[in-house]
Structure formats: structure tokens, C-alpha cells
Chain A
């Protein structure tokens, strides 16, 4: 689209300053800040060295290896400089850089030398408002949120007292500054927040965007974040906030995607963009978990995935694209399942928390096979925990999964394995009755790997003197194992069979079995 403002290109020093600041903040969307709007109309007042642009609240909190955005960020830094009158914005454009627009030139000229015959600047509303606007910009650029909010309030009071219609680029700029600054204050301390969030944060930024639609990525990101955080603070109860949050965050992505398409993008830019897409999806998942309309995220998340493809995170986007279609597009179940999987793979997660998320996912499913799949996952995860209680939980989840989808081989194997683990543990601790019961259950159905169940069963039965059953099952276990494994792997099964044979006085047969091992058996 057509740019409404031509900002000077990056200058080396500013870019370096910006990069340092951005690296420190590590939360900056690669785009120009609202402060950029101050550039064309900046006065000639001097000031300290340029401050970094404010960090965007919407940047990915976990942007791994987030590099400082280069060109657009530097653009923002120059804009910030210009806002303070120290940037080379008023200097003659360098080769290949855009010349100042007429408005810029006029503003610069006016700041340097007021036209003859015009009243002193302070005597007019515009003259009184200009320094107030600048104060708001300065505080904002310095990330002095309280100062920026107060300056915006003062500006608005003066503006309204002047009887001017609430319009104009400057007015819109101050609305955004005030709205964003108050949002930051709210985040810092909700208890002491003294403003009307809906009107003075959301409303102010919305009003600004109606008039000035530049820096769309940055502005929609901040506004979307404000809607999202507000929604979160209300316990995800207001659908209006949810829709607006989703739209503004997605709109920011669309804007950034368009910016990148308009020029040859660097791999770093592409990666950073993909991280924003992932951040949006993360928030979308959070909203979907609490939404009255989770299925709408089928479309929203897939759209964000589509934007993110072509980056180093393609596998992740493909997974997320697929998971929202889980269970016939049951987004809530898919989101919960994926959340559980992510929690499962996050170091330090508490097993109970992970299982609780999976439990919610299972509850949200509609299809029995889908529910069985989540229960199988739960069984697998629980069985890998150290405490014995989790081994028992693994059995229970496996049992439930099997009841829902008995022909699923993965479910069968997980259920059977979990039973084997518990049977084995019980046997090892001398709880032969329990070992017997779990082993019986594990041999109650066919599953890939059930030779271990017959092994467990035969040992347990042998301990109770159940001669025939123990012999039969020990032989079955060995028979299955030797058909399946190499001799070395089948050895424990053979040894068990031999031991049971000897226990019941069948030494000759035991020797025969042992001999089979020497030459093998077809």
C-alpha cells in the first residue's frame, strides 16, 4: 500500500543505538513506532541523545534468539531522534533517500523561523498544543509511561478546552501515545490504575487508528495485546474483547506480511515474522481454551499458520495447522491436546498439571477414537514417571483408551505395556497376587509385545503352584518371543520357561528347551 509518510533512511549511529536498546528490551516488533509520526512535525527543540523507541508490549515473550530488528527498527530510532529534533531528518536527504515532504519541510522551516505576521505560536490553540504534544512524545519515547499518560491527559484537556474537533494527525498521535502508555501502566499495576481501560486505553487507540493508519503492524499489535490482556484479566468472559484481540493481532501479522512482501526479505526478518505468527497462535490457543466459540480458531489459527509457512518453523506450523482440525475440527480438544503435548515436553512441568490438561482435552473430544488417542497419550506419559502411583494411573488411562478403541494397535500396546510394568513391579516387591491379577488382565487381549504379559503371568502362577497354567503360559511367552526376537533377546523368556519347568520337576524337558537354544528351533 501507499506509505503516508516518508521517513529518512537509517543512519549508522542511530541503528547501533537502536540495536543495543532493542537487544536489551528484546520485545520489539520490527516496525516503526508511533513516535515516527512525530518526525515530520517535529520542532527544532534540542534534546539529549536519542532514546530507543518504546518496546512493544506485543512482542513475543519467548522470541528465541531474537535479534534486534535492523532496518525498520533503525527507522524507528531515527524517527525518535527526529521527534527530539536531533535526527538528520531536517538535513538534506542523502542519495537514494526520499526528500522531505512539503509538510516536513514546512514544519521544519516553521520551527526554525516563524513566518512574519503570524501570531506568536503559544497564542493559538495549535501553538499551545504543540509543546504538550511534544512532551507526550518525549515521555513516550523515553518509556516514561506515567509521564506520557499525564502529558496526553494534559494535551487532551487543552485540546477539548480549545473547542477543536477531535481530529487531526497530532490529536490521533497523542491518543495512541496516551492509550499505549496507560496500557503499560495497567500492566505494571492494575490495583493502582486510575483510568477507564475501555475508554482511555482501547478507545483512545481505536480512535487514533481511525485517523492515522501508519505503522499498522506496531499499532495493531499493541492494540491487540491490550484487548488480549484485558480479556485475560476478565477471565476470558467477554466475546467482544476476544474477537477484537484476535482481529488486531492477526491484522498486525497481515500488515507485517505485506511489508515483507514489498521488498526482498532477509531470513532474519522471515524468522522474526514466523515468531510473531507463533505468538499469535499461542494467544489464539489461550483464547480458544476459554472461548464460547473455540471452533472459530480453526480458521484463525490456520490463517496464521499459512502466514508462517516458509520459515524455520514449518514443522511446528504444520503440526498446529493439523491439530486444530483434530476430532473433526473440534478446536478446543485439539488446542488442549497440543497444550498438553507442549507441557509434556517442557522441562519442569508438573506431571499432574500435564495430566490435567490432557484430561481436559479428553473430556472435550467428541469422537471415541480421538478420546482414546488422548488417553493413550496420558497412559504413555504417566508410565514414564518414576512414582508408582503414575504407573497405576497409566494402567487406568490405558484401560479407558482400550475400552473406547479396542482395535487400535497403539492403544492395545500401551494398555498392555502399562499392565506389564505394574505386574512386574508388584512381583518384584513380593506382591504376587497383584502381579498375577495385572498379568491376567494383560493377557486378556492380544497386543504387540504381549509375550512379556505371558512371562509375568507364568511367573506369578508358578508362585502360587498353578502348575499347568504356569507351564502353559511360560511356553506361550517363550514361543512368542523366539518367533519374534533374535535368540539373545528371547533368552529371558527361555530361561523363565526352563525355571518353571524345573520348579515343577520337569528337568528333562527343561534340558531339552535349553538344548534347543544351542541349535535354535525353526
Chain B
């Protein structure tokens, strides 16, 4: 790779090969923050600056009014996530950060699927919903809305199965997560 300040011309292929492209495992990062304006921007800004692409993001209250939980899932990057978590610790309004171990973590998201279901396909859609323990929360002549809860992978699987029937639209919350066992996340 060429150094800045030298006249060497860089090939695009070389640049891309050395670039900061995603790979590696999925991460679920749980961040407890003070419930103050602008905190979410500080947190997400840090991920962006360090070249991480946020896959999902969920923010909500905790058992303590003054504290919110931000749950972020990442596809991972070439860089170690350590540098981001260390930088996150430096934000004054961040109280606690956990890069959750997948085996030790319960993660769930909620999704709503609007599927066209007129005629023949309808029964089959209902059947798939049943297998996935999805609730049908709205039914019209030409469509149903199903509510699914589960891990990202389960929701992905449901989407794959339902899509051929005519997926009109979909909304997902992104995962929230909590550690298994007695200890606080």
C-alpha cells in the first residue's frame, strides 16, 4: 500500500483489498447509558467513525428510569471490536458495555410481516405461521399480518418461507438481548 504523501498511484483493486470490509462473526453489544439527550448519537457516531456497520439497533428503558439500554448488532469487521468498546467506555454518558457471548445470551426480536394471502396460498401461510408460533394479528380479504418473535435467525427463516407467497412489507425491531443466569447483563 502506498503511503500518503508519496506519488505512487494506487490501484483500485489494491485499495479495496486493504479496505475495511466486513467479515467475522456477528456481535451483540449491550450498552447501558444515561438517559440524556444526544447519547444515542454519540454511541452510533463512534461505530460509524470506526468503520462498523450497525445491523440492528434497539433502544429502550431499563428497570432504572435514569438508564437506557442500547442493543446493537454488528456483522463484525476486519478490525477487532475491542477498539470500539474501549472508545465507547470513554463516552461520559456510557455506564456499561457488554459484547455478549452468543452461547450465554438470550436474544429476541419482534417482526411484523404483511403477506398477500388470497385464495390457495392462504392455508399454507397460516400453517407456516403456526409452525413458527407466529400470531396472525390482522386479516383482510387479500392479506394477513403475522407477528413473529424470536432470534434474528428464526425471523430470517420465517421470512424466507413466507416470501414466495408475496411479501408486501416487513418491519423488524432488531434484537434485544439479556445474559443467561443470575448475573446482570
Whether chain B is bound by chain A comes out as no
Q: Which residues does A use to contact B, with CB under 8 Å? A: none
Q: Which residues does B use to contact A, with CB under 8 Å? A: none
